[in-house]
Structure 1
Amino acid sequence: MPDAPAPKTCSAFRNDALGHDDATALARRLREKEVSVAEVTQAAIDRANVAQPLLQGVAAEDYERAMAEARALDNHDRPASWPYFRGVPTFIKDNTNVAGQTTQHGSLAVPAARATDTSPFARQLLAQGFVCLGKSTLPEFGFNATTEPAHAPATRNPWNLGYSAGASSGGSAALVAAGVVPVAHANDGGGSIRIPAACCGLVGLKPTRARLLDNEAAASLPLNIIGEGIVSRSVRDTANFLEQAELFHRNTRLAAVGHMEGPSDRKLRIGLVLDSINGHRTDDITRRTVEKTAHTLEKLGHRVEPIPVPVHRSFPEDFALYWALLAFGVRVNGKKLLHPEFDRQQTDGLTNGLDALFRRQFWRLPAALWRLKQSHRDYSQAMKGYDAVLTPVLGHTTPELGHLSPDVPFDTLFERLRRYVSFTPLANATGAPAIALPMGRTPENLPVAVQFMGQHSGERTLLDIAFALEAEAPWPLLHSANVTGKAGQPVTDPA
């Protein structure tokens, strides 16, 4: 008999304790004891085991400890103060410490040593009641826009396994989109929440700078560009996550996000940007998706109008140099920052190329850093009179695996990344909130997303828009009426 065709998609959804629920619905069923934490945790582990050979989204598993935690939760009487997401399974990205689990930052240069403590943001996330099943994959140190580590299998997009899942939170996005868990941790230094959310058809919100607790790496940066958060399949999961995170820690300098259940009747003035300032035109499919979203917003009563890119024209070069600075810092200070046995001889081609780029251009850093810090003020000025700005997430649709591999010669790879990651870094430098929403589809069955950037502390406005678009034009998910599958087998569509 001829060999069966290779699978094209990967969906782990099935009729088990997890079902098709998002985290909010699953948390309700857990509270009402329709299912036990152990049943839900075991279902997520089973889904992970069958999806992992196709997706490669799990960096390190901790299933035995997770099941022990689940059984312990089931053995306790129901207290009045149960955390909102008590018992909901998740994964934490492999650049964030969880006590007892390894942290390797997606790199062969970092030994697989178990952490002795839990990072501040991981504590803020786990305090909501999530059960951590292990670590999700990322490219080396989160520098790339695809999760294709040079030393390990690529993380594949569950919508089409021949394509990238995005990065740097690619493992989390692949696992959530495929239905292994309803939400997963993500963080974002240049688009690393929004890019994989865009590639995998998810909601990805990067909060305002300092909205949530920072992990250790952010404190050492001359300009903190890193935001923490999650990727989810529903807007309400992201909204409820932020509300619960503020109960653990709230930055009182920012307006509270608070409770949100759906869109308001408020009419907004929204700017529109179709092409980035790096000189590259957005591809046609992405452009049409953004324009269609603008028309939907106008139909809902909002005002949408083109505006100039709200930042200095030197921004692409300045941010690229800062990106290179981070690679230089890792290679020079890895033993101090990451692990005493850090081996910089094991870093990949992208990290090495960025390091070399910084060494050639380091003299530009003072002026570039000054302009990047000024971008907060420039952006605030440009946003006066606007509630949000609508842009693409990426310069073109999701690439095939290999296009952005760290094995591609550096000059070619660097130019490809500059064309691809041309919209997301602005929110990181300015500290503004930004959200990615899946609003289109390619002929290859891949999601196409749009981005909304808000005023500082404007998460409620972004969620308001997201709720409205989700209700008006619901995005597809990988599960469907015929996704039943045999127990222990991932459901796939043949190529």
Structure 2
Amino acid sequence: MRIDEYTAHDATALAGLIRDGQVSAAEVHEAAAAAIDAVSGELNAVVGERFAEPLAHDPAGPFGGVPFAIKDLIIHAEGVRQRAGTRLLGEGVPMPGDTYLMARFRAAGLATMAVTATPELGFNASTEPVSTGAVHNPWDTTRSPGGSSGGSAALVAARALPVAHANDGGGSIRIPAAACGLVGLKPTRGRTTVGPDYADPLLGLGIEFALTRTVRDCAGLLDAVHGSEPGDRYLLPAPVTPFAAAARDGSRPLRIAVRTTPLSGTGSVDPECVAAVRRVADALAGLGHTVVEAAPALDAGAFDEANLVAWCSFLADGVDGLAAALGVTPGPDTLEATTLACVEHGRTLSASDIYAADRVFNATTRAVAAFHQEHDVLLTPTTCAPNTALGHLDADDPGLDARGWYHRIFAFAGFTALSNVTGMPAISLPLAVSERGWPIGVQLAAGTAQEATLLALAGDLERALPWADRTPAVVAATPAGSAVS
């Protein structure tokens, strides 16, 4: 299989080719390995060495044999080193076992080929850690692929992989989806398991899933891996119909609210992002939906302060726990400047601060839930600009304290954190292109457990405003005159 034959298919199609015997899994893996290697020099998206052979997986799973990668954060696989984007872990710590979601990815048949880069401990909307260097956006290598799932996004956008793991504590699936022209769904809290290591990572903000190029891959993968494990805190109702069926069959008429100013109150929005939302709103009205200007009322200052408490307390707990286990002292030689600032701020927080943040999160969630009683979906830009220049979100900037760093991030990512706080689902879709040829992401958010609503609407928009024919400047391809067997 040539690389360009491999890259022409999404995960669903590749699984079908393997299942029907039109190509062997080994041929697909060989093409995937060549594709990853072909773009690695320009993108710097892989951490450590690509695996010589894919990790063990179930060939009978619905995605049996489909190439995949895991992000170097939260999720882990037995025997695979985790670095979490930080010098604190040096060359990485071999993990003693699989997380529950990793086991589900294996059972789905996904063949893990590599580990992808993340910013230090995930607290950045760009992926340019000191430990492994900047990841480059395949649409324009002077730009960031977003974060914190930027390594995964770069590989999927460059067609080196059809799908890759990602996680999202403030927009880390949706931000890189927007920057790299991908589909990025943050599911409802509890839809995918975060066990056994966590019950509610980041005070409930964090959730695990993936990045894909197509809506059907996103929906089919959610069908394959959703659900709770013994000891998980949440048990969501099973979908009435498969998510893949919802994406295929399309949406019922919905009441859709539109907002183009940042929900957090931080930052201004690029006119091209506003225009993209307006174009999508017009398309949705043309599809028979009721579209109105509306948004939930929030106390932006209280929201930002509570979010800062969640992030800094999580970072302080994680860093201090790792340092104690490894027998090292956190400092400028092991942590980036803003991480250290956030850790130091986190150490000053009390139990009362965390409970106060939880009260803000509860009030926010109640307000948004009430809003979704009247509006099925909230339509916004995903980010305040199509992307950022590499270096703009420099986590090693000693001039930024914890609040300064938080506001630098969310001046760019002013629309994503709300769905993390509420635990409700949201999806970014690549529905527009800037004048410079960069993807522009548009976000759709819905109420608790309404992934099917979002995926049905996403399927309709993919058909109405297709993006499959757009390719970035850096894309895996078979060199002229050569072939992969």
State TM-score, norm by structure 1: 0.87
Query: Is 1:376 matched with 2:365?
Result: yes
RMSD of the alignment, in Å?
Answer: 2.6
Query: Secondary structure of the equivalent of 1:410?
Result: coil
Query: Secondary structure of the equivalent of 1:228?
Result: strand
Distance of aligned partners of 1:374 and 1:407 in 2 relative to their CA distance in 1, 3 Å threshold:
same
Query: Is 1:436 matched with 2:428?
Result: yes
List per-residue Cα deviations over 1:222-259 (Å, max 9, x = no partner).
72111111100000000000111248969753241624
Distance of aligned partners of 1:356 and 1:149 in 2 relative to their CA distance in 1, 3 Å threshold:
same
Residue correspondence of structure 1 range 135-214 to structure 2 within 5 A: 135-214=115-194
Query: Is 1:122 matched with 2:102?
Result: yes
Contact map agreement 1:124 1:248 (CA 8 A) in 2: no
Alpha-carbon distance, 1:285 to partner: 1.0
Alpha-carbon distance, 1:33 to partner: 0.9
Matched to 2:393, the amino acid is: L
Alpha-carbon distance, 1:66 to partner: 1.7
Alpha-carbon distance, 1:423 to partner: 1.0
Contact map agreement 2:202 2:311 (CA 8 A) in 1: no
Q: Distance in 2 between matches of 1:402 and 1:410?
A: 14
Q: Distance in 2 between matches of 1:286 and 1:371?
A: 29
Query: Is 1:397 matched with 2:380?
Result: no
Distance of aligned partners of 1:189 and 1:273 in 2 relative to their CA distance in 1, 3 Å threshold:
same
Query: Secondary structure of the equivalent of 2:379?
Result: strand
Bigger shift: residues 215-224 or 281-290: 215-224
Q: Distance in 2 between matches of 1:450 and 1:310?
A: 21
Query: Secondary structure of the equivalent of 2:4?
Result: coil
Distance of aligned partners of 1:394 and 1:216 in 2 relative to their CA distance in 1, 3 Å threshold:
farther
Q: Distance in 1 between matches of 2:31 and 2:477?
A: 14
**1:88 maps to which of 58, 66, 88:** 66
Matched to 1:340, the amino acid is: L
Residue correspondence of structure 1 range 289-308 to structure 2 within 5 A: 289-308=276-295
Corresponding residue for residue 76 of structure 1 = none
Q: Distance in 2 between matches of 1:316 and 1:205?
A: 23
Alpha-carbon distance, 1:124 to partner: 1.4
Matched to 1:289, the amino acid is: A
Query: Secondary structure of the equivalent of 1:61?
Result: coil
Matched to 1:175, the amino acid is: L
Q: Distance in 2 between matches of 1:323 and 1:488?
A: 51
Contact map agreement 2:38 2:477 (CA 8 A) in 1: no
Bigger shift: residues 299-308 or 453-462: 299-308
Q: Distance in 2 between matches of 1:222 and 1:56?
A: 28
Contact map agreement 1:177 1:202 (CA 8 A) in 2: yes
Alpha-carbon distance, 1:450 to partner: 0.8
Query: Secondary structure of the equivalent of 1:389?
Result: strand
Query: Is 1:242 matched with 2:222?
Result: yes
Query: Secondary structure of the equivalent of 1:106?
Result: coil
Contact map agreement 2:379 2:445 (CA 8 A) in 1: yes
Identity across aligned pairs (percent)?
32
Matched to 1:98, the amino acid is: A
Query: Is 1:328 matched with 2:316?
Result: yes
Corresponding residue for residue 461 of structure 1 = 453
Corresponding residue for residue 472 of structure 1 = 464
Contact map agreement 1:103 1:114 (CA 8 A) in 2: yes
Matched to 1:486, the amino acid is: P
Matched to 1:378, the amino acid is: A
Question: Is there any run of 5+ residues in structure 2 with no aligned partner, and where?
Answer: none
**1:448 maps to which of 424, 440, 445:** 440
Contact map agreement 1:263 1:465 (CA 8 A) in 2: no
Corresponding residue for residue 413 of structure 2 = 421
Distance of aligned partners of 1:422 and 1:279 in 2 relative to their CA distance in 1, 3 Å threshold:
closer
Corresponding residue for residue 49 of structure 1 = 37
Alpha-carbon distance, 1:342 to partner: 5.4
- Aligned pair count reads 464
Contact map agreement 2:100 2:195 (CA 8 A) in 1: yes
Alpha-carbon distance, 1:378 to partner: 2.1
Corresponding residue for residue 353 of structure 1 = 341
Matched to 1:188, the amino acid is: D
Distance of aligned partners of 1:467 and 1:365 in 2 relative to their CA distance in 1, 3 Å threshold:
same
Alpha-carbon distance, 1:479 to partner: 7.0
Corresponding residue for residue 35 of structure 1 = 23
Alpha-carbon distance, 1:296 to partner: 0.8
Corresponding residue for residue 102 of structure 1 = 81
Contact map agreement 1:127 1:248 (CA 8 A) in 2: no
List per-residue Cα deviations over 1:55-75 (Å, max 9, x = no partner).
0111133522328x59x96xx
Alpha-carbon distance, 1:341 to partner: 4.5
State TM-score, norm by structure 2: 0.89
Query: Secondary structure of the equivalent of 1:384?
Result: helix
Bigger shift: residues 149-158 or 172-181: 149-158
Distance of aligned partners of 1:164 and 1:306 in 2 relative to their CA distance in 1, 3 Å threshold:
same
Bigger shift: residues 161-170 or 240-249: 240-249
Query: Secondary structure of the equivalent of 2:47?
Result: strand
Alpha-carbon distance, 1:14 to partner: 3.8
Query: Secondary structure of the equivalent of 2:184?
Result: strand
Corresponding residue for residue 11 of structure 2 = 23
Distance of aligned partners of 1:247 and 1:383 in 2 relative to their CA distance in 1, 3 Å threshold:
closer
Alpha-carbon distance, 1:328 to partner: 1.8
Alpha-carbon distance, 1:470 to partner: 0.3
Q: Distance in 2 between matches of 1:479 and 1:161?
A: 10
Matched to 1:31, the amino acid is: R
Query: Secondary structure of the equivalent of 2:121?
Result: helix
Distance of aligned partners of 1:335 and 1:211 in 2 relative to their CA distance in 1, 3 Å threshold:
same
Q: Distance in 2 between matches of 1:431 and 1:441?
A: 29
Matched to 1:281, the amino acid is: S
Distance of aligned partners of 1:222 and 1:185 in 2 relative to their CA distance in 1, 3 Å threshold:
closer
